[in-house]
């Protein structure tokens, strides 16, 4: 850092390319605040880094004689999250005072537990059997990475865990004795708002018509809500049956029956969301859109594929129902007719 600071600044002896190299180094060094992101080690990323960092820097801003300056930005495509982050499911804020306990086999063959404060480097989770998360004012969470491949894959893709506010906070908030007053109410309001947004978008898409089609901003928000509610449900099933042994936190987290009720409330919200999406999926127009989406060669020349309604329906169905990609669908179509496949996936 001291060397980069010394190289930064205006000087007649430094060319335009010198400043470009320094600023690129600063950007790569402090990407994500220097903590949250890192450079991927995949073969594709290494190739892109070679292109972006090719050591022939320009003499002035219009110099593209030895290297196209636009290629200098390719390094941004090599960035990937490097830390596991814990966030509030209602507000999307970072959970303060959270701890992550990583359980992995030790050298003696016995399970060992290491407790860390997030953000935690994702490489430390390699070989972990399970992880436990706790934070004041939130339901404790335990994720079994050994027996659940879906959970391990979810963490690898998202690299973020959403913790739900503890149900016991509701009583203490009413009494005015909790520092987390209103957190439970915020979560309930968020769930309600998410369901209303999704219901409004799916209803307008089901009704059809250019005049009634929702705007793409509303569709993007609905897709975001579907993904978030689904993610909360993925983790909620691990909450049921958890016990808090520490007496000092027992009052905060409430009883086991209360935590099960919290998980059930989240699951019921997802059932409502899924019902709305399934109603949209059963529309004849949705079947035609999915068929067009899967047959890529036809979709490129189709007026249907260029409409906002097409992209909205495909986006909603993909995030809610795990709609197969065109490549996957065409592979399945070798054994099952496309019409039967659409009927099987959408019902």
Read off the CATH number of the domain in which 115 is found. Answer: 2.60.40
**Are residues 322 and 190 both part of a single domain?**
yes
State in Å, rounded, how far the first CA of the chain is from the last one. Answer: 58
112 and 13 share one domain: no
Dihedral sign (CA 337, 338, 343, 344): positive
Give the percent of the chain with pLDDT over 90: 5
Domain edge (last residue) among 81, 109, 127: 81
| Residue 276 Cα distances to 176, 192, 230, 317, angstroms | 38, 14, 14, 11
Locate 205 and state its tokens: 């898409």
Same domain flag for 16 and 144:
no
pTM for this one?
0.50
Domain that residue 158 falls in: 84-169
Q: Is residue 176 part of a domain?
A: no
Segments in the chain below pLDDT 50:
168-181, 241-258, 297, 299, 301
Whether 327 and 197 map to the same domain: the answer is: yes
Of 59, 68, 62, 74, the C-alpha closest to 27 is 74
Q: Do 96 and 134 fall within a single domain?
A: yes
Taking alpha carbons only, the member of 186, 172, 35 closest to residue 117 is 35
User: Is 65 within a domain?
Assistant: yes
Q: What per-residue confidence (pLDDT) applies to 51?
A: 92
Same domain, 203 and 315: yes
What pLDDT score was predicted for residue 304? 57
Confidence (pLDDT) at 119: 82
User: Token digits for 328?
Assistant: 């996957």
What is the domain count for the chain? 3
Burial of residue 147 (CB within 10 Å: 0-12, 13-18, 19+) is exposed
Q: CB atoms < 10 A from the CB of 63, how many?
A: 15
List beta partners, residue 134.
Answer: 99
Q: Check residue 47 and give its pLDDT.
A: 93
Helix (H, G, I), strand (E, B) or coil at 156: helix
Helix, coil or strand: residue 133: strand
- Number of H helices and E strands in the chain, helices first, is 14, 9
For residue 174, is it within any domain?
A: no
Report DSSP state, residue 159.
-
Residues 200, 325: one domain? Answer: yes
Q: Tokens 């399934």 belong to which residue? A: 278
Structure tokens at 199: 């219901």
pLDDT of residue 251: 35
Let me know whether 58 and 117 are in one domain: no
The helix (run of H) or strand (run of E) holding residue 163 is strand 160-163
Look at residue 49 in the predicted model and tell me its pLDDT.
92
- Which of residues 81, 112, 147 is at a domain's end? 81
175 assigned to some structural domain:
no
Is the domain of 68 the same as that of 99? no
pLDDT number for residue 167: 53
**pLDDT in the model for residue 171:** 45
Domain boundary residue among 34, 52, 81?
A: 81
Kindly state whether residues 108 and 136 are assigned to the same domain. yes
Distance CA 266, CA 282 (A): 25
The verdict on 217 and 295 lying in the same domain is yes
* Rg, C-alpha atoms of the chain: 25
pLDDT at 306: 65
Residues 130, 269 within the same domain: no
The residues that bridge with 99 in the sheet, in sequence order, are 134
Residue 179: what pLDDT? 44
- DSSP string of 234-290? HHHTTTTT-----HHHHHHH--HHHHHHHHHHHHHHHHHHHHHHHHHHTSHHHHHHH
At 48 the pLDDT is 93
CA distance 15 to 38: 29
Is the link from the previous residue into 15 a cis peptide, with omega within 30 of 0? no
260 in any annotated domain: yes
Domain membership flag for residue 177: no
What is the SS3 assignment for 88? strand
Contacts of 224 (CB under 8 A, 6+ apart): none
């Amino acid at each position: 850092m001291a060397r980069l600071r010394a190289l930064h600044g205006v000087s007649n002896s430094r060319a335009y390319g010198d400043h470009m190299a320094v600023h690129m180094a600063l950007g790569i060094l402090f990407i994500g605040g220097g903590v949250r992101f890192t450079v991927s080690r995949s073969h594709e990323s290494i190739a892109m880094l070679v292109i972006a960092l090719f050591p022939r820097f320009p003499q002035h801003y219009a110099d593209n004689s030895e290297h196209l300056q636009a290629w200098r930005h390719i390094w941004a495509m090599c960035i990937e999250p490097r830390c596991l982050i814990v966030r509030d499911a209602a507000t999307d804020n970072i959970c303060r005072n959270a701890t992550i306990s990583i359980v992995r086999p030790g050298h003696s063959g016995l399970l060992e537990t290491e407790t860390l404060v997030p953000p935690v480097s994702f490489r430390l989770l390699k070989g972990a059997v399970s992880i436990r998360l706790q934070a004041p004012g939130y339901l404790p969470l335990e994720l079994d990475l050994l027996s659940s491949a879906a959970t391990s894959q979810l963490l690898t893709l998202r690299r973020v865990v959403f913790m739900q506010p503890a149900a016991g906070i509701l009583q203490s908030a009413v009494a005015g004795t909790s520092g987390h007053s209103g957190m439970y109410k915020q979560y309930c309001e968020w769930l309600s708002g998410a369901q209303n947004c999704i219901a409004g978008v799916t209803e307008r898409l089901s009704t059809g018509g250019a005049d009634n089609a929702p705007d793409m901003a509303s569709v993007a928000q609905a897709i975001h809500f579907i993904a978030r509610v689904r993610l909360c449900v993925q983790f909620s099933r691990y909450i049921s049956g958890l016990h808090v042994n520490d007496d000092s936190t027992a009052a905060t987290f409430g009883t086991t029956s209360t935590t099960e009720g919290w998980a059930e409330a989240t699951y019921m919200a997802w059932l409502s969301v899924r019902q709305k999406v399934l109603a949209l999926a059963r529309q004849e127009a949705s079947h035609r859109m999915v068929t067009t989406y899967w047959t890529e060669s036809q979709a490129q020349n189709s007026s249907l594929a260029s409409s906002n309604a097409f992209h909205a329906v495909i986006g909603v169905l993909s995030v809610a129902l795990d709609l197969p990609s065109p490549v996957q669908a065409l592979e399945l179509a070798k054994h099952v007719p496309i019409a039967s496949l659409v009927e099987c996936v959408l019902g």
